[in-house]
């Protein structure tokens, strides 16, 4: 009786070994062959295609947001600014204060649309160190209060200047 049980068990185990070996494609190149098989049936490409679509819509959304921001910042076009603004501020805030250049965000935030008072307060606070920013502070350190007022006045006029250019 014991012998029969052992015999049946052995047969079963050997059978299982053969079965799993064949199933795992060991005879056809093992794991590597399976990977190649997976590549072959096109299912991976489908996944990649879906990922691409999602990526694209994300980028489109971003583009739309950027466009909205630029429109808000009066991207309607360039308008006249002083050489002073151009040389000292436009490299970070954009020639029109939009904070964008060629669709890319620049180092400084948009300042277009802020009032003269808002700009002036920011500048004074930067200079005094109440508003902490090394870049702006370094820039304003050598400017007089009059200069800050002049910049504030000019930037405060940006929306009106943009509108004038449009008409
Ligand atoms: C080297 C780059 C750079 C230049 C040049 C520069 N800025 Fe800035 N500016 C910044 C950065 C960065 C900030 C953001 C600081 C923060 O909020 O921490 C900023 C912030 C500001 C703000 C506050 C905006 C807000 O909404 O908080 C004003 C106003 C401003 N700048 C005006 C100017 C003026 C006027 C000039 C020219 C005299 C100028 N900036 C030149 C980089 C620059």
How many domains, the chain? 2
Q: Answer yes or no: are the C-beta atoms of 139 and 88 closer than 8 Å.
A: yes
Residue whose Cα lies nearest atom 13 of ligand 1: it is 108
pLDDT, residue 20, reads 66
Q: Could you tell me the CATH number of the domain that includes residue 82?
A: 1.10.760.10
Q: Which residue out of 111, 130, 142, 149 has the highest number of ligand 1 atoms within 8 Å of its CB and is therefore the one to mutate?
A: 111
Q: Where are the beta strands (DSSP E) in the chain?
A: 100-101, 104-105
Where is 8: in which H helix or E strand? helix 2-23
Residue of the nearest CA to atom 36 in ligand 1?
A: 89
Q: Is 152 in the pocket of ligand 1 (CB under 6 A)?
A: no
CA of 81 to the centre of ligand 1 (A): 16
Q: Is residue 103 part of a domain?
A: yes
Q: Is 56 among the domain residues?
A: no
Question: pLDDT at position 40, please?
Answer: 55
* Positive or negative torsion for Cα 119, 124, 129, 130: negative
CA of 93 to the centre of ligand 1 (A): 7
For 97, the domain range is: 73-166
- 13, part of any domain: yes
* Same-domain status, 108 and 151: yes
pLDDT tens per residue, the chain (167 residues)?
A: 778 778 877 887 777 775 666 665 555 555 665 555 555 555 555 655 656 666 667 777 777 776 666 665 545 467 999 999 999 999 999 999 999 988 899 999 999 999 999 999 999 999 999 999 999 999 999 999 999 999 999 999 999 999 988 77
Q: Looking at residue 123, what is its pLDDT?
A: 97
């Amino acid at each position: 009786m014991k012998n029969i049980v052992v015999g049946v068990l052995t047969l079963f185990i050997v059978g299982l070994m053969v079965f799993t070996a064949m199933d795992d494609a060991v005879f056809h190149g093992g794991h590597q062959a399976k990977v190649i098989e997976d590549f072959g049936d096109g299912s991976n490409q489908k996944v990649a295609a879906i990922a691409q679509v999602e990526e694209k819509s994300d980028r489109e959304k971003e583009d739309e947001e950027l466009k909205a921001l630029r429109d808000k910042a009066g991207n309607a076009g360039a308008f006249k600014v002083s050489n002073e603004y151009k040389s000292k501020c436009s490299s970070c805030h954009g020639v029109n204060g939009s904070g964008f250049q060629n669709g890319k965000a620049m180092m400084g935030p948009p300042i277009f649309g802020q009032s003269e008072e808002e700009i002036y307060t920011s500048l004074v606070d930067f200079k005094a160190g109440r508003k902490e920013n090394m870049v702006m502070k370094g820039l304003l350190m050598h400017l007089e209060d009059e200069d800050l007022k002049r910049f504030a006045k000019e930037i405060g006029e940006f929306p009106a200047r943009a509108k004038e250019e449009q008409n």
